[in-house]
A and B are shown apart, each in its own frame.
Chain A
Amino acid sequence: MKTISCYEAVKRIFELLEGELTRTKKEELDGHISTCRDCCNRFEFEELLKKKLQKASGQEKTPKRLVKRIDSLLKSF
């Protein structure tokens, strides 16, 4: 397996979190993270930040009034 630099690892951490990392690249990243504490911490941080951001913005659900409006719109089609 190819070894990668911390710079490359950080780049891949972001790609991984966005679901854009290929399997081989992920395995290389996993290999790096398992031996590099800095990158491991970085990964945990970015992952948690993303989760928090998603939670903070994902709380917004479609208001009932809009659901009703769409329902009647659908009936009119």
Chain B
Amino acid sequence: MEKKKEEFSILLRNCMDVMYRVALRRTNEKSKAEDLVAESCLKAWKSFGNLRDHKSFKSWILRILTNTYISHYRKAKTTPEPIYESEFLKENEDFSLFEQLSSPFVLYNTNPEKEFLNKIFSIDLKKAVDSLPEAYGEVVTLCCLEDIPYKEAAKILKLPVGTVRSRLHRGKAILQKILWEYGKERRYI
């Protein structure tokens, strides 16, 4: 029992930050994110005995966290999701910041793409990720920000791998479109 508990603690400690970040991006509120992590830990401990391969601990516990979020927190959400017109999504599913920035109309310096990235604030990058519609945000968070392979993300989110891939592609395009809009607002472009 003690040995099992120690194993669990070590594995858990390695995943704590990623759990917290995923929880925070889902709940958008620190105290709720903390509750979600704690509750997921409790659930994970209860079924730890069923986990055969400890190498998959991270995706296993993130799946528990996702399920816990869906069953408790999503229901309790009071603020509605930002509404993205399907028009907006459709129009921008292939948007590329690079292509916009390197187009011949933006010729104010020799390397406008890098210039843009040097100027953009961390806070804007974070805000852009947070403002993604949930279906895209969750995939971008896992695959792009936390470097979790498609296959594992698919297991965590209970989605087909193909859906993960296409949502990631669209999610990144929308993210770049949002950054483009921030850039215009702040006159970087």
Contacts and interface: CB of A to CB of B under 8 A. Distances in A.
Which of A62, A63, A73 has its CB near the most chain B CB atoms (within 10 A)?
A62
A53 interface: yes
Contacts of A49: 97, 117, 176
Interface residues of A, number: 32
Interface string A51-73: 01111111111110111011001
Given A14-B169, A18-B144, A73-B38, A62 B20 contact: yes
Size bin of chain B's contact surface: 35 or more
B97 A70 contact: no
9 contacts: A18-B150, A19-B147, A53-B125, A60-B17, A61-B17, A63-B30, A69-B38, A70-B37, A74-B5
Interface in A5-62: 14, 18-20, 41-42, 44-46, 48-50, 52-62
Contact of B21 (A41, A48, A57, A67): A57
A60 B37 contact: no
Which of B114, B172, B175 has its CB near the most chain A CB atoms (within 10 A)?
B172
B16 A62 contact: yes
Contact of A53 (B16, B38, B42, B129): B129
B38 A70 contact: yes
A55 B5 contact: no
B113 interface: yes
Nearest to A74: B9
A55 B143 contact: no
A58 B145 contact: yes
Interface string B99-124: 00010000000000110010010110
A60 to B, nearest CB: 5
A46 to B, nearest CB: 7
A33 to B, nearest CB: 14
B60 interface: no
B145 A70 contact: no
A25 B105 CA distance: 34
B144 A53 contact: yes
